[in-house]
Structure 1
Amino acid sequence: MRLTQLKEIIRTLPVKPGIYRMLAEDGGVLYVGKAKSLKSRVSSYFLKQVSSPKTQALVARIHHLEVTITASETEALLLEQTLIKSLKPPYNILLRDDKSYPYVFISEGDTWPRIAFHRGTRSQAGRYFGPFPSSTAVRDSLNLLQKLFQVRQCDDSTFRNRERPCLQYQIQRCRAPCVGYVSAEDYRSDVTNTRRFLEGRNEEVTEDLIARMSMASEAMAFEQAAVYRDQLTALRRVQEQQFVLKDVGSVDVFAVAAQPGGVCVQVLFVREGRVLGTKAYQPAVFGETAPADILEEFLPSFYLQGALSEGGGRDLPREIITSVELPGAEVLADAIRMQYGRDVEIKSRVREARAAWVEMAQRNADAGLMSGLANRSHIAKRFAALQSLLEREAPITRMECFDISHTMGEATVASCVVFDGQGPKKSDYRRFNIEDITPGDDYAAMHQALTRRYSRLVKGEGSLPDILFIDGGKGQLTQAIEVLDTLGISMGVSGVQLIGIAKGEGRKPGLETLHFPDGDTISLNADSPALHLIQQIRDEAHRFAITGHRQRRDKARKTSTLESIEGVGPARRKALIQHFGGLQEVQRASARDIAKVAGISESLAQTIYAALHSH
């Protein structure tokens, strides 16, 4: 649809809140936005003087407009986030981080509570402390808590079946409640102090330990007094290091750094006055965008997209602090209130400890941006070196690499990793579970994986790469040639350029040989940037393949033999296990004994017996 026709549509738009979708010529959604007034907001894109390169590039591609009127701007914001999450428009800022944050978990409801790492739905009875920015931050905290309070971290099954203390007791990381080496009262005290510490109530912990140490000394229990003394010493050392924890609060602090070619949004997590750590995001931003505009798009994605899915959203702080004044802060606060049922303050002008948190987040954002830009520059040099090596006129925009992993032919998995001009593009990675081949036949596995991958691409389900790397020598490369030829995919510099990567003597890095379809081979110097890029994508394909293989192999080995028997569902499996007391006893049973289980007929018992003994 031409510009004049678009302007005709704009003239008919209502002065009401809603969302608008900008569509490309092929019908794909380019951008989704929300507006207080659809007419005013959409019209602003088509002004003669538009300074933003992002807006100029977007308008040049628009062929159609669609709008949805909503009852309020808040409702429009929620609908906008739903559409961005499902459609993933290229001109919106996309938050590619759907993982739930990790927490420290303390169980409740038993005599000997445990403390543990937790990620996922919070359905168990107990207290959850967090969120922490990474699993490393949680494990560091658990390690510190072990030294301070020695609360058990083993799972309940291990705890119930211990007959003597484990190594954690020997190295003074646990007080061995499993074998009664600590009283229930003392253990509850340790658990209480652990909770207080995680809540930032360090002074209460200190007072409690001093009181207990004094009582133990008066009772001549000097060994116990020494335990409390050591806990006090360790706690005071920790407090000396925690210089930012004086102002109690539950806050998320956001800072943004932006330069042409890159953006970094840094989040600082503060819970109960304790800085849990930081996390850096580098969202996909098209063109140059002001920091305030970046945060205006980023924050709804950060808080609302998770809440609109089945996961239920993020742990919500009492305050959100931004390094720049946030446009539309009131609308975001209203949307958060609707989704979470809680109020949250959004502010940018803060003082004292909160200002120090903003400064810390900004320093980290600036450093993250510089690191990201340097890394992209490094990658760009490697891409340029490979382009020069292969004598390509056009820049390399997309590369794919395949690898095969198995253990003696078991659970064969093929991986496909993708690199673009910014490095690994993990959203395009794929794994293929290889079936119906002779175990250990790497050629057949490669042929199957390539056929499945490029059959889809030929149908238009993705983009063909400029270069296709195959981890292997001439044999694997021949499989790739056959597959692409069968599918009618052109090869060479003008199509998909095929390269086999054969490992050198002793499989040492730097001794690789590159094989080409015409029979030529190249061995590069160990310090070649082009070789480093090839090694990087090859190693990533290997890592991705072996991770998938191990997951598939472990799953197969953990799967009960009963699960593969037709007619034996979850209810019958449970009945069999409960009747005989375990899988080993089921395997020892005769068909006649199996038929005595409720819900198992004689014919099914014969089937189960035959299946178990065929294994």
Structure 2
Amino acid sequence: MNTSARPHIEKILANMTQLPGIYKMLGKEGELLYVGKAKNLKNRVSSYFLKNIEHPKTQALVARIYDIETLVVRSETEALLLEQNLIKLHHPPYNIMLRDDKSYVYIFVSADQPYPRIASGRGKGKHQVGKFFGPYPSAYNARDTLLVVQKLFNVRQCENSFFAQRKRPCLQYQIKRCTAPCVGLISPEEYQEDVNSSIRFLNGDTRELNQELIGKMEKAAEQLEFEKAVFYRDRMALLRDVQAQQAIYKLRGEADIIAIAYQAGVTCVQIMHVRNGKMLGGKSYFPDMLGDDLGQMLSDFMANFYFQVADEVPAELIVNVDLPNRKDMEAALRQQFGKKIQIKPHVRETRAEWLELAEMNVQHAIRGKLASYLELNERFYQLEQVVGRPVDRIECFDISHTMGEATIASCVVFDHGGARKRDYRQFAIHDITAGDDYAAMRQALTRRYKKAMLPDLLLIDGGKGQLHMAMEVMQTLGLEAFMIGVSKGEGRKPGLETLHFTDGTKIQLPEDHKALHLIQQVRDEAHRFAITKHRAKRDKRRGSSVLEAIPGLGPKRRRDLLTHFGGIQGVLKASEKELSQVTGLGEVMARTIYSVLHE
């Protein structure tokens, strides 16, 4: 800790109250580093300054503390709510526990009239009006459910802008995934029936739906409408498959099942969701927490998760360890979400089966993470041996553009826990000559390190030229950074990279060297992040199909291309050879298309 701050901190600790409340750790410039809660403020805050603290994250926090502010409250419940409100407002860097805190995916039925749409999205967007179902632990789970709904009830899933412009039915109508309400091939009344059936299906009312389908099939057969009867029969078969998949879940109702495990420095929390008696899947989290009190660790995680990440909380939270502040947590959740919440550490029968399933998954996830965790730490150790200095944090930059268009610079961050996606940054590059990667990198580095702290190792994707340019940037900013330039080998083949150091030396590590594997992992992630953001920006800027920007590719050949592959996604997945097989394209045009879409 800064020696000039120590007397001041000791004075603060000596006069600190023993009442419950929240505390704020501040840096030298007054920046908020951490927010915490405590039953006894004096005891809790003093514990940060004990000599036997071993956790690197806590050590790093303490080293930056310059001042401490406290706020006394009347109860632990108030402290918990205030703590989470401050975290949500300020996002202090040392409060971030979850590696991936994206909102959960929901399926929603819009309120558009007379033809609502069904779609999925993250969180319950305030701009979206309609009924929401979920949450689903991943986009894959939501898409899988949407596909079943689309096959069963043929309700549209297209965007409103696409829907309004249609003059004839699209491919979804041809493959019997939509009834083409856009061109009036179904009446609003019939369409609303399909929408209502979709809502009942998403609510879990599959038995009544099955009886209705049987009645419609028999009626169609009596009226000799055999094609319609076959249609209803196929719907029934698909519905039976769905019912069979959900047969093991015997209870109705909603619950989150939460299991925690800790092993060899790695903490894992598995959350599984039951909605309308159906298991919707689960997700593993690896929060930055260490300790031997699993109940307290789970309490801290749940506070972070339900107040910062989740859009809703079910009435039951089933946990594999009891929480030391269970009643306070229930009270805080009730106050936050406006309904009674029960946290249940002891359950029986079906709920016990759910909990056993969550515990199996958390053990499986922690074993997998531990294997990769040990491998990652070995890679860091080998890198430290190569560079001759400790490396706890790596940042890497990459540039992506298409022929100079929509240039994006990416910055990715890795530490001993893996990719720190919350710390990733992207920079839209402006006011440079199109295609000038040196100028783009210069602008990105300047914007990044005017404010941010330097990492232990800064990787520059490029050879001596890019490295020298980065050195000039650091000199201009008055910073001393440890940097390595990574140039690709002959034929851009992985394993042949050369590492360039700022003192002019260069080395080429063996292809199987773990330090090289770490450098490749970080560099490839920077490239992936840059190109993903660049493509999104490029396509948004163009405002139309990406194919329209390819020189020499006219309307007819664009239409032939899309027809051949069934849409733009098929084109994006096609190889250069597959593109050349489209009638009228040829190898030269196929190469041009592939280059624009992928390079």
User: C-alpha deviations, 1:519-542, integer Å up to 9, x for none?
Assistant: 443333333322221211111222
CA distance, structure 1, for counterparts of residue 129 and residue 414 of structure 2: 44
TM-score w.r.t. the length of structure 2 is 0.80
CA distance, structure 1, for counterparts of residue 47 and residue 500 of structure 2: 51
Residue 406 of structure 2 aligns with which residue?
A: 411
Residue 558 of structure 2 aligns with which residue?
A: none
Equivalent residue in structure 2 for 1:438, among 433, 440, 454: 433
User: C-alpha deviations, 1:556-589, integer Å up to 9, x for none?
Assistant: 4449xxxxxxxxxxxxxxxxxxxxxxxxxxxxxx
Q: 1:140 offset after TM fit, Å? A: 0.9
Matches within 5 A, 1:129-144: 129-144=133-148
Residue 493 of structure 1 aligns with which residue?
A: none
Structure 1 residues not aligned, in runs of 5+: 307-312, 491-495, 560-615
CA distance, structure 2, for counterparts of residue 529 and residue 108 of structure 1: 54
Q: 1:489 offset after TM fit, Å? A: 3.7
Q: Are residue 528 (structure 1) and residue 532 (structure 2) matched?
A: no
Secondary structure at the counterpart of residue 205 of structure 1? helix
Distance verdict in 2 for CA 1:51–1:345, change over 3 Å: farther
Residue 563 of structure 2 aligns with which residue?
A: none
Q: 1:225 offset after TM fit, Å? A: 1.5
Matches within 5 A, 1:72-471: 72-86=75-89, 94-95=97-98, 97-108=100-111, 110-120=113-123, 121-182=125-186, 184-285=188-289, 287-305=290-308, 314-390=311-387, 392=388, 394-454=389-449, 456=450, 461-471=451-461
Equivalent residue in structure 1 for 2:487, among 477, 498, 502: 502
State whether residues 317 and 344 of structure 1, in contact with CA within 8 Å, keep that contact through their aligned partners in structure 2.
yes
Which stretch has the larger CA shift, 190-199 or 128-137? 190-199
Q: 1:29 offset after TM fit, Å? A: 6.5
CA distance, structure 2, for counterparts of residue 501 and residue 63 of structure 1: 38
Q: 1:17 offset after TM fit, Å? A: 4.1
User: C-alpha deviations, 1:504-530, integer Å up to 9, x for none?
Assistant: 233232232323344443333333322
State whether residues 396 and 421 of structure 1, in contact with CA within 8 Å, keep that contact through their aligned partners in structure 2.
no
State whether residues 164 and 179 of structure 1, in contact with CA within 8 Å, keep that contact through their aligned partners in structure 2.
yes
CA distance, structure 2, for counterparts of residue 366 and residue 240 of structure 1: 27
For the pair shown, the structure with the greater C-alpha radius of gyration is 1
User: C-alpha deviations, 1:335-389, integer Å up to 9, x for none?
Assistant: 2222222222221211122111111111221122222221111111222222333
Which stretch has the larger CA shift, 165-174 or 205-214? 165-174
User: C-alpha deviations, 1:6-38, integer Å up to 9, x for none?
Assistant: 77435xx36x54334567899777764434565
The one-letter code of the counterpart of 1:415 is S
Equivalent residue in structure 2 for 1:484, among 470, 474, 477: 474
Q: 1:192 offset after TM fit, Å? A: 2.2
Secondary structure at the counterpart of residue 135 of structure 2? coil
Secondary structure at the counterpart of residue 377 of structure 2? helix
CA distance, structure 1, for counterparts of residue 497 and residue 106 of structure 2: 44
Distance verdict in 2 for CA 1:503–1:5, change over 3 Å: closer
Secondary structure at the counterpart of residue 413 of structure 1? strand
Distance verdict in 2 for CA 1:399–1:109, change over 3 Å: closer
Q: 1:171 offset after TM fit, Å? A: 2.3
Q: 1:416 offset after TM fit, Å? A: 2.3
The one-letter code of the counterpart of 1:383 is F
Q: 1:432 offset after TM fit, Å? A: 2.8
Structure 2 residues not aligned, in runs of 5+: 1-5, 545-599
State whether residues 269 and 278 of structure 1, in contact with CA within 8 Å, keep that contact through their aligned partners in structure 2.
yes
CA distance, structure 2, for counterparts of residue 383 and residue 100 of structure 1: 31
Q: 1:45 offset after TM fit, Å? A: 4.9
Secondary structure at the counterpart of residue 276 of structure 1? strand
State whether residues 383 and 533 of structure 1, in contact with CA within 8 Å, keep that contact through their aligned partners in structure 2.
yes
State whether residues 382 and 529 of structure 1, in contact with CA within 8 Å, keep that contact through their aligned partners in structure 2.
yes
Secondary structure at the counterpart of residue 136 of structure 2? coil
Distance verdict in 2 for CA 1:26–1:223, change over 3 Å: closer
CA distance, structure 1, for counterparts of residue 181 and residue 537 of structure 2: 37
Q: 1:185 offset after TM fit, Å? A: 4.7
CA distance, structure 1, for counterparts of residue 162 and residue 198 of structure 2: 22
User: C-alpha deviations, 1:307-345, integer Å up to 9, x for none?
Assistant: xxxxxx612212111111122222122222222222222
State whether residues 52 and 289 of structure 1, in contact with CA within 8 Å, keep that contact through their aligned partners in structure 2.
no
Secondary structure at the counterpart of residue 131 of structure 1? strand
Secondary structure at the counterpart of residue 343 of structure 2? strand
Q: Are residue 9 (structure 1) and residue 15 (structure 2) matched?
A: yes
The one-letter code of the counterpart of 1:537 is V
Secondary structure at the counterpart of residue 485 of structure 2? strand
Residue 587 of structure 2 aligns with which residue?
A: none
State whether residues 93 and 298 of structure 1, in contact with CA within 8 Å, keep that contact through their aligned partners in structure 2.
no
State whether residues 505 and 511 of structure 1, in contact with CA within 8 Å, keep that contact through their aligned partners in structure 2.
yes
State whether residues 117 and 138 of structure 1, in contact with CA within 8 Å, keep that contact through their aligned partners in structure 2.
yes
The one-letter code of the counterpart of 1:258 is Y
The one-letter code of the counterpart of 1:70 is V
The one-letter code of the counterpart of 2:459 is F
CA distance, structure 2, for counterparts of residue 180 and residue 47 of structure 1: 71
CA distance, structure 1, for counterparts of residue 291 and residue 307 of structure 2: 24
State whether residues 99 and 286 of structure 2, in contact with CA within 8 Å, keep that contact through their aligned partners in structure 1.
no
Distance verdict in 2 for CA 1:542–1:222, change over 3 Å: same
User: C-alpha deviations, 1:78-132, integer Å up to 9, x for none?
Assistant: 1122234456567757345553222111123523332112334144332111111
Distance verdict in 2 for CA 1:97–1:44, change over 3 Å: same
State whether residues 312 and 337 of structure 2, in contact with CA within 8 Å, keep that contact through their aligned partners in structure 1.
no
Which stretch has the larger CA shift, 115-124 or 251-260? 115-124
Distance verdict in 2 for CA 1:180–1:548, change over 3 Å: closer
User: C-alpha deviations, 1:120-150, integer Å up to 9, x for none?
Assistant: 4144332111111111111111112222222
User: C-alpha deviations, 1:267-295, integer Å up to 9, x for none?
Assistant: 1111111111112111111x324211111
Percent sequence identity is: 51
Secondary structure at the counterpart of residue 247 of structure 2? coil
The size of the alignment, in residue pairs, is 535
CA distance, structure 1, for counterparts of residue 526 and residue 57 of structure 2: 38
Q: 1:304 offset after TM fit, Å? A: 2.2
Residue 589 of structure 1 aligns with which residue?
A: none
Distance verdict in 2 for CA 1:141–1:211, change over 3 Å: same
Distance verdict in 2 for CA 1:198–1:464, change over 3 Å: same
